[in-house]
Amino acid sequence: MNKKAHLLKRFRSFRTGTSLEQSEARLAFFMLLPAFTIVAMVILFPVVANFWISFKSVGLGDLRPPSAVVREQVTQMPESVGEELHLTYRMRNSSRTVPIQQVRIEASLPRGLSVVELPPGWAVQEGILQADRGRWEQGFSEDISFRFRAGEDFFTSPVDSRRPTSPEATVRARNPLMSLNFTLDNFRFVITAREFWRTLGVSFFYPFMGALGSILLGILSAQLLNRSFRGQGLLRGLFLFPYVAPVIAVAFAWVFFLDPFSGTVNALALELGAFREPISFLSERSYRFSFLGISLRIPLALVVVILFDSWRYFPFAFLFILARFQAIPDQIYESADVDGAGPFRKFFSITLPQLRSVVATLFLLRFMWTFNKFDDVFLLTGGAAGTRTLPIQVYDNAFGRADIGAGSAASVILFALLALFMAVYFRTLREVDDE
């Protein structure tokens, strides 16, 4: 049966003038098309949109098209027949950068109201208060007043005492995101900012030292657990705790322990006489330490953030390095023992060369992930005290200053650097595979 189906398929492909390989390639394309579409929507569309916004001068409020805002205020409510209803419309353009056109306002008048005074350009037709207001410039704002006289029907029909006319506005507005006006002002603003180059330096230094520290701790912990002993499984599980614990929990635990007034670290150091006064570990940009007559000034908050990163992510390196340790043949170490090699000689001559490919891959992965990391620094210091990185800069521009264009420009710079790191990573991975 399978042979007949195969021959029939070849016959059909021959009749249509296509080869069997072309038919299978076309079928594979249509089968993979939904997956490609999902990838494009989930991954590529946000990236393209971010690039698009980075070349536009738009704020957080410009993500929505500008609109005409009309708020109704009752300044006098009639209590009997013949008294007047006084209304005030507070009108404004919701955007301070984009004008709106063809503004038309309509409001339904309750029954029993007669006009006493209307502003110029306003009219009442079939119980509808209306006006064509034309063009409103950016930042437009105006208050206008109306006077109506109440009849008997006004008091017998249901009326909202706060919004008796419920005005609504229709406009034609240009969405700044959809315009074809592009600018480099966002990139110019980001690059010429006072702290940009320092932020860029911290963005490289912090992930480099964090990746290095996590790998060193991973090697040390893997070396300790690379042998069988009682309680090994429990200790291995404890080593994984920093990595699997919620980041907000461990970050606030560090903030509590390092607090200058109620923190455990300062309390113990003051009790033991190690500190003369409490130290604000997470808010001191730099601190001068003196030890054995040597005075050294270090970026304290940045060092603490690096230590947190090394402690939190060393279990990731620990798992991979331990697996590589256990794959090293015991015969190599036995031969080294016969040659009289000591522990340090075996570590530097046997263990480290065996770990080279794993360590290189881990370092690049940790560097890229930390370079793009936002939550650790934000939860510990908020980017203050010399710990501002590019992800923090993206957040501050987009939401702190409500400048989406500048935030997108900073994220494009971040994306370009990450793309460069990815190219280096894949090249290194290819060299490791060749080995």
The structural architecture, per CATH, of the domain 66-178 is Sandwich (2.60)
Across 35-44, 229-238, 388-397, the highest mean pLDDT is recorded for: 388-397
- Among the listed residues 394, 363, 355, the one whose alpha carbon sits nearest the alpha carbon of residue 378: 394
Positions of CATH 2.60.40.1170 in the chain:
66-178
> Tokens at residue 147, please?
């006077």
Of 152-161, 245-254, 378-387, give the lowest mean pLDDT range.
Answer: 152-161
- The pLDDT tens digits for 379-390 are 999 888 889 999
Q: CA-CA distance, 242 to 239, in Å (whole number)?
A: 7
Mean local confidence (pLDDT), 68-76: 92
Q: What is the distance between the alpha carbons of residues 120 and 412, in angstroms, rounded to a whole number?
A: 51
Considering only residues 60 and 118, tell me which one the structure prediction assigns the higher pLDDT: 118
Is the confidence at residue 11, as pLDDT, over 60?
no
pLDDT averaged over every residue in the chain: 85
Rg of the chain in Å (alpha carbons): 35
What is the Cα–Cα distance from 379 to 139, expressed in whole angstroms?
37
CB atoms within 10 A of CB 23: 15
Supply the CATH classification number for the domain 187-434: 1.10.3720.10
pTM for the full predicted model: 0.75
| 3-class state of residue 428 by DSSP | helix
Percent of the chain whose pLDDT exceeds 70: 94
Q: Which among 70, 65, 243, 279 is positioned nearest to 163, based on CA atoms?
A: 70
Residue 14: pLDDT band (50, 70, 90) is very low
Q: Which regions of the chain carry the CATH code 1.10.3720.10?
A: 187-434
Long-range contact list for 280-287, CB < 8 A, 24+ apart? Answer: 282/255, 282/258, 282/380, 282/381, 282/385, 283/381, 283/384, 283/385, 284/385, 285/385, 285/386, 286/386
What are φ and ψ of residue 178, in 5° steps?
Answer: -95, -5
Angle in degrees, CA 166, 171, 175, rounded to 5: 130
Does the pLDDT at position 142 exceed 50?
yes
How confident is the model at residue 210, as a pLDDT?
94
Q: Residue 22 pLDDT > 80, yes or no?
A: no
- Looking at residue 295, its amino acid is S
| Distance (Å, whole) CA 395 – CA 403 | 10
For the stretch 94-119, pLDDT in tens is 887 788 889 999 999 988 888 898 99
What pLDDT sits at residue 86? Answer: 93
Per-residue pLDDT for 66 more than 90? no
Give 188-218 pLDDT, tens digit per residue.
999 998 889 999 999 999 999 999 999 999 9
Q: What pLDDT sits at residue 96? A: 79
Mean pLDDT, residues 325-345: 80
